[in-house]
Structure 1
Amino acid sequence: MKPYLISIAVGLLVGLLYSLLGVRSPAPPAIALLGLLGMLLGEQVVPIAKRMTSGHEVASFVRNDCAEHVLGLPVKAKEQPEDRA
C-alpha cells in the first residue's frame, strides 16, 4: 500500500507544479485510464475460464496471480545467494 500512497502524493505534487507553471499535464484523460483498466481485467477472463472449465481452484488464482497482474503488485524478491569474493 505504501508505494501507492507515495505514487499519489508525488503525482499530486507534480500536478501542483504543473499548475503553478501554467502547463498542461501529458497524462491521458480519465476515460483512457478506465479503458486500460478494462484491458487488464479482460486479459484475466480467459485464464479464469480455463481454470473453471478444467476444475481447478479459481479463488486463489484470482487472489494471487490476477491481483498481481492487475494491481501491479511488486514482485517478491527472490533470495539471492551471497556473493563470495
Structure 2
Amino acid sequence: MKVYLVSLGAGILVGIIYALMQVRSPAPPAVALIGLLGMLIGEQVVPPIKRMMAGEPVTTAWFRTECVPKITGTPPPATLVARRDAPDDKAPESDRPAH
C-alpha cells in the first residue's frame, strides 16, 4: 500500500509542477497507462528469450512465478516460491532428485 501512496504522491507533485509551469501532460492518462502496460510486458519478453537461448525450458509454471508477478505487481504463489527457494533436504518429496 505504501508504494501506491508514494506513486500517487509523486504523480500529484509532477502534476503540480506541470500546472505551475503551465505545461500540459505529455499524453492523455489512458494513453500513458497503455504505454506503461506495454513497457511492463516488453520487459518480460527478454527473460524467456534468454532462457531459451540458454537451452532451458520456458514452462507455464516458470512464467507464472517469474514474469506474471512483475507485470501484475502481485506476489508469486507461495507454494511455488517455497518449492523454488527450499534447499534440497527441505523440499517436498515430489521435488527431491532421485538418488
TM-score of the pair, normalised by structure 2: 0.44
Q: Indicate conservation of the 8 Å contact 2:65/2:76, yes or no.
A: no
In structure 2, the partner of 1:56 is 56
Deviation at 1:74, TM superposition (A): 3.3
Who wins on radius of gyration, i.e. which is larger? Answer: 2
| AA of the residue aligned to 2:70 | H
**Cα distance between partner residues in 2 of 1:66 and 1:35:** 18
- Distance change (3 Å), C-alpha of 1:52 and 1:76: closer
Over 6 Å off, 4+ runs: none
In structure 1, the partner of 2:31 is 31
Q: Structure 1: state its 5+ residue gaps.
A: 1-27, 78-85
RCO higher in 1 or 2 (8 Å CA, sep ≥ 6)? Answer: 1
Q: Structure 2: state its 5+ residue gaps.
A: 1-27, 79-99
What's the Cα RMSD here? 2.0
* Number of aligned positions between the proteins: 50
Q: Indicate conservation of the 8 Å contact 2:64/2:76, yes or no.
A: no
